Amino acid sequence: MKTDHILRALIGVLLIAVVLVIVGSLRERVVVVGDTAPDFSVVTDNGGRVSRANFGGKLLVLNFWATWCPPCVEEMPSLVEFQREFASSGVVVLGISVDKNEKAYRDFLRKNNVAFQTARDPGAKISVDYGTFKYPETYIIDSRGKVVQKIIGPMNWTDENTISYVRSLIG
């Protein structure tokens, strides 16, 4: 009889713990326009360290992508061209790949002449901090660390409206 009460109490405690874990996971943070971007620090493929707080530019274009993502692959040439257009304006493009396969990642960068800063985050820690679960997903972050635009899905970064918008942000 006493064992039954102990088992019931333990089952009750475990049930409460499971419910708390489920409720906690449902409230994952998703970064939206106007939020302060979560801080991160990553070593890029060229050996430099980039963080949200110190990215060396007036505007950070933070792009989450993967080689196995067809929309990401589709978007990449225009993002490379966008970086070339704005490189001298202080705009920093940082591509964070969630690829687990390092060889596929390196082969992709080489074959596609990706000219902006890139880093691999195979554990997707940074994208999870941003609440990113669809790829590509891009955050435009101003010099104060505020998200001024969030783009879900592929984008033509050489589009005239996009170019004008970014120019308006850098003044």
* Residue 57, pLDDT score: 65
Query: Is the domain of 25 the same as that of 36?
Result: no
Query: Is the domain of 7 the same as that of 37?
Result: no
Domain of residue 36 covers 31-170
50 has a pLDDT exceeding 90: no
Model pLDDT for residues 70-110, shown as the tens digit of each residue: 999 999 999 999 999 998 888 999 999 999 999 999 999 99
Average pLDDT over residues 139-150: 92
Query: Is the domain of 23 the same as that of 82?
Result: no
137, 150 contact by CB (below 8 A) = yes
* DSSP line for 24-65: HHHT-----TTSBPPP-EEE-TTS-EEESS--SSSEEEEEEE
Structural domain total, the chain: 2
pTM: 0.81
Query: Is the domain of 87 the same as that of 165?
Result: yes
Query: Is the domain of 36 the same as that of 119?
Result: yes
Average pLDDT over the chain, rounded to whole?
A: 88
Query: Is the domain of 128 the same as that of 165?
Result: yes
Average pLDDT over residues 112-120: 92
Query: Is the domain of 150 the same as that of 164?
Result: yes
Query: Is the domain of 148 the same as that of 90?
Result: yes
Query: Is the domain of 65 the same as that of 99?
Result: yes
